[in-house]
């Protein structure tokens, strides 16, 4: 299965992504993790990305698209993958479509994990990552609403979007995801 996983910061995507890759044997392509690794390794890309990440802004599309293009070419992606945190803009989604069309490997499903803003803010405030300062959290939520939410319509129109209620225990939420993916795989 080739899956895109979309949700605002604090929605619990990381927890559910871990369960999905373990259960379905998918490669986990988290752009946030890749960027943090590049930052910590002090690569050129990592140092450039850090300026945006620490401000809660999206890293420029060309940087992210190049990272994903390289990663999708690695052999473990052939067994299926979970794209976590990418695409996050319409331009990124269009670039992804082009890559997948040329390989004739279309997406199977786009999962949206939906959580209301007040709940997100509470969860993020208790987390303590470097970009979890209140003003940076606010900026990340703004970036999500303005730049990423339009993707819901983009994928909805293609009939790929499935929305998952992100309120409840991790087990509850994973059951909802399994129910949806069971229908996709069948
Ligand atoms: P969250 O979903 O909690 O905001 P991520 O770990 O997915 O966290 O991303 C952290 C930061 O990395 C983002 O705020 C952004 O600066 C950068 N980033 C991750 N993925 C992308 C992407 N696809 N496009 C642009 N920037 C990205």
Is the dihedral angle over the CA atoms 141, 147, 150, 151 positive or is it negative?
negative
186 Cα to the center of ligand 1, angstroms = 32
Nearest CA to ligand 1 atom 2: 9
Paired sense of beta strands 81-84 and 27-30, if any: parallel
Q: Give the nearest ligand 1 atom to 55 CA.
A: 16
31 Cα to the center of ligand 1, angstroms = 6
CA 130 to chain centre: 19
Q: Are 180 and 119 within 8 A, CB to CB? A: no
- The whole-model pTM stands at 0.93
Question: pLDDT per position in the chain (186 positions), as tens?
Answer: 999 999 999 999 999 999 999 999 999 999 999 999 999 999 999 999 999 999 999 999 999 999 999 999 999 999 999 999 999 999 999 999 999 999 999 999 999 999 998 899 888 888 777 787 888 888 999 999 999 999 999 999 999 999 999 999 999 999 999 999 998 865
d(CA 48, CA 73): 23
């Amino acid at each position: 299965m080739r899956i895109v996983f979309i949700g605002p910061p604090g929605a619990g995507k990381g927890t559910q992504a871990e369960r999905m890759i373990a259960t379905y044997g998918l490669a986990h392509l988290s752009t946030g993790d890749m960027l943090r690794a590049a930052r910590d390794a002090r690569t050129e890309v990592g140092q450039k990305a850090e300026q945006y990440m620490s401000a809660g802004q999206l890293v420029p599309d060309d940087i992210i698209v190049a990272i994903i293009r390289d990663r999708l070419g690695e052999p473990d992606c052939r067994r299926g993958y979970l794209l976590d945190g990418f695409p996050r803009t319409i331009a990124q989604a269009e670039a992804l479509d082009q890559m997948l069309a040329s390989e004739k490997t279309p997406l199977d499903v786009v999962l949206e994990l939906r959580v209301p803003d007040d709940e997100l803010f509470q969860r993020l405030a208790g987390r303590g990552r470097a970009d979890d300062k209140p003003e940076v959290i606010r900026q990340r939520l703004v970036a999500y609403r303005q730049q990423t939410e339009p993707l819901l319509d983009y994928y909805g129109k293609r009939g790929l979007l499935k929305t998952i209620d992100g309120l409840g225990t991790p087990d509850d939420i994973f059951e909802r995801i399994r129910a949806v993916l069971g229908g996709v795989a069948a």
